[in-house]
Amino acid sequence: MNFSDILTVLGNPYFTNDTIAIYNMDCKEGLEIMRQHNLQVQATITSPPYNIGKIYEKPMPITTYIDWIADVSQLVYDVTSNHGTYLLNLGYLKVEGKARALPIPYLLWDKMPFFLNQEIIWNYGAGVACKHYLSPRNEKILWYVKDEENYTFNLDAIRDPDVKYPNSKKNGKLRVNTLGKNPSDVWQIAKVTTGANRSPEERTDHPAQFPEDLVQRMILGFTNEQDIIIDPFLGSGTTASVALQHNRCCIGFEINEAYCETAKRRIMQQDSKLQQDRFNLFQIAV
């Protein structure tokens, strides 16, 4: 199964190049078509709406919302290859009279068809400053796999070079891995901030953009080159942009056409930059 087989079945994308395709489509519709045609991918990396009133979401009763995330996840499971992976980023929601900020994973944990391999805490510095309770500074990434014994994990590709005692030795041998340490299940990665003089270069007009560094760690650590990755909630196209930088294919579904356009422009810019870099390298080599 390859990238072009999937495009043939899904039909005309909003945008495509050799390895990236963006569909302006409800993800359930797209995933259902893939399921019916037995199309499979190696990984899904995504961040769905959290049902907290953002501009891009329709508010739903909590049980409806949880059932919806579970339904999308079942479809993801059905289109994931036997040794595939599902990385699901989730935050918190308010439950009237019960919780100010309930971690969404608490509501989902027994509704998922995948094996939960690990919960990763994404910790960031900037955010809302609160007076009556602690300022929230984390979200979760649920690392699901289909086969608990056999899945992709490229530890060396994501080792953290910030080792406290890099020269520490035992019996004359270095004690630490020279590539760095295991990055642990707490990842400190800055959010994509907004505001004059504060926005990083990667900032688009999307209000809930994934940081590229976060997606890069997921792509390098949990997928291989040439793998096909889906992002059912593509937004500004971060998953696709990082996939392009690291020789993975990506298929994204996004219901809002304006965000498809944002993602398309981002991929085209990234593509030209990569081509320019390759050209510059070639010039140095000859």
| Distance, CA of 239 to CA of 205 (rounded, Å) | 16
| Distance, CA of 42 to CA of 232 (rounded, Å) | 14
| Distance, CA of 27 to CA of 96 (rounded, Å) | 29
User: Residue 42: which of 1, 4, 83, 100 has the closest Cα?
Assistant: 83
Question: How near is the Cβ of 102 to ligand SAM at its closest, in Å?
Answer: 18
Which residue's beta carbon is nearest to the bound ligand SAM? 235
Task: Specify the residue, 36 or 182, whose C-beta has the smaller distance to ligand SAM.
Answer: 36
Question: How near is the Cβ of 142 to ligand SAM at its closest, in Å?
Answer: 15
Task: Specify the residue, 140 or 181, whose C-beta has the smaller distance to ligand SAM.
Answer: 140
Instruction: List contacts with ligand SAM (CB under 6 A).
Output: 26-27, 47-49, 56, 206, 208-210, 232-233, 235-236, 238, 253-256, 259
Question: How near is the Cβ of 116 to ligand SAM at its closest, in Å?
Answer: 21
Task: Specify the residue, 84 or 211, whose C-beta has the smaller distance to ligand SAM.
Answer: 211
Question: How near is the Cβ of 23 to ligand SAM at its closest, in Å?
Answer: 9
CA 257 from centre of chain:
20
CA 96 from centre of chain:
29
Question: How near is the Cβ of 184 to ligand SAM at its closest, in Å?
Answer: 23
Contacts of residue 223, defined as CB under 8 A and 6 or more positions apart, other chains included, come to: 42, 43, 85, 152, 229, 248
Task: Specify the residue, 22 or 145, whose C-beta has the smaller distance to ligand SAM.
Answer: 22
3-state class (DSSP) for residue 185: coil
Residue pair 218/141 in contact by the 8 Å Cβ criterion: yes
Task: Specify the residue, 164 or 198, whose C-beta has the smaller distance to ligand SAM.
Answer: 198
Task: Specify the residue, 177 or 256, whose C-beta has the smaller distance to ligand SAM.
Answer: 256
Question: How near is the Cβ of 199 to ligand SAM at its closest, in Å?
Answer: 14
Q: Say which amino acid occupies 161.
A: P
H or E segment to which residue 27 belongs: helix 27-36
Q: Which residues lie across from 231 on neighbouring strands?
A: 252
